[in-house]
Amino acid sequence: MRIVVDGQKLSANPRTTKDLLVTMKSLARLLNWQTLYDPNKEIIYVSTSKTNAVSTISDLLMPVLEELESIRLQDKIICIDAGHGGNDSGALGPSGTMEKDNTLSIAILLKEKLENNGANVIMTRSSDQDLSYPDLSRNDLLSKRVTIANDSDADIFVSIHNDSFSSAVASGTTTFHYGNEQAIELANHVQKALTNELNTNDRGTRFASFYILRYTTMPAILVETAFISNPEEELLLASNDGRNKIAESIYNGIVRYFKV
Ligand SMILES: [Zn+2]
């Protein structure tokens, strides 16, 4: 939800909550300001005759907004899976960057954002760690991730990867699910947030019978954030700014999924 006071947008950009709307309306009534809520655009328009209204309303609302932010994802358990790790570097970019490093950095940034909003985050790995058991097949490598997710009692599971193709031209973002209705919804929100923010080619949300999607017991998605094999997207994936945008987008998709 956005708040516009006398034509000026407040810097805060909170999601709609009924509490905030009620707080906002009673505050406006108290101060004799006019309010109009546009439910389609999720904007509250506030009209006031006071010239310093923007700072006044910010001062009054910011503590409320901050408190709402900090508890937005309270009680939610989110399992984040940074793809690959250790000896398994994942795909390599044309200039030698590794998928395992990108996925871990994005996962750590996402963890921070989720925790700042009250969520309980479980990571399948928090370092450059190999999740495979020695001498076992690739399925067993993935099963450790599934075990961590299922044991965590998580509400959702988000696996982060980079896509790769033999042609450097291939580009874009894809989010996979295993057909579960809630997983599709989560995938749609995350995919939309990512492609809007990154301006990447929207390859859509797709069904996939990946082991980690099939055997996790909660709504689960696997995000192919962008193509590490594409020189331009390799830079995006390896840069702090790009990683932060990706984490922020996945975070926004999760928040929209939980409707908080
Ligand atoms: Zn991967």
DSSP the chain: -EEEETTEE-S--PPP-HHHHHHHHHHHHHTT-EEEEETTTTEEEEE-S-TTHHHHHHHHHHHHHHHHHHTTTTT-EEEEEE--BTTB---B-TTS-BHHHHHHHHHHHHHHHHHHTT-EEEES-SSS---PPTT--HHHHHHHHHHHHHHTT-SEEEEEEEE--SSTT---EEEEE-S-HHHHHHHHHHHHHHHHHH---EEEEEE---HHHHH-SS-EEEEEEEETTSHHHHHHHHSHHHHHHHHHHHHHHHHHHTT-
Which one has a higher pLDDT value, 158 or 43?
158
User: Could you list the residue range(s) of the whole structural domain that residue 60 is in?
Assistant: 2-70
Q: Is the model's pLDDT at 255 over the cut of 80? A: yes
Residue 16 predicted with pLDDT over 70: no
Residue pair 224/161 in contact by the 8 Å Cβ criterion = yes
Q: Identify the domain boundary among 55, 70, 85.
A: 70
Query: What average pLDDT does range 154-174 have in this prediction?
Result: 97
85 CA to centre of ligand 1 in angstroms:
10
Cα(89) to centroid of ligand 1, in Å?
A: 9
**Do 198 and 110 share a structural domain?**
yes
Residue 141 has pLDDT above 70, yes or no: no
Amino acid 246 reads I
Average pLDDT for 43-59: 72
Dist. CA 105 → ligand 1 center (Å): 14
Do 219 and 141 belong to one domain?
yes
Q: Which residue type does 103 have?
A: T
Kindly give the distance from the C-alpha atom of residue 39 to the centroid of ligand 1, in angstroms, as a whole number.
Answer: 39
Of the candidates 50, 70, 90, which is a domain's last residue?
Answer: 70
The alpha carbon of 83 and the centre of ligand 1 are apart by a number of angstroms equal to 5
104 CA to centre of ligand 1 in angstroms: 11
Q: How far is the CA of 122 from the centre of ligand 1 (A)?
A: 19
Domain-ending residue, one of 70, 99, 126: 70
Are 66 and 88 within one domain? no
The share of the chain scoring above pLDDT 90, in percent, equals: 65
Residue 135 has pLDDT above 60, yes or no: no
The reported pLDDT for the residue numbered 1 is: 73
Is residue 40 located within the same domain as residue 82?
no
pLDDT at 133 over 80: no
Q: How far is the CA of 8 from the centre of ligand 1 (A)?
A: 43
Q: Are residues 93 and 197 in the same domain?
A: yes
0.85 exceeded by pTM: no
Asked if 63 and 133 sit in the same domain, the reply is no
Per the structure, the count of domains in the chain is: 2
Cα(192) to centroid(ligand 1), Å: 20
Q: How far apart are CA 103 and CA 131, in angstroms?
A: 14
How far away, in angstroms, is 228 Cα from ligand 1 center? 10
> Taking residues 161-168, what's their average pLDDT?
97
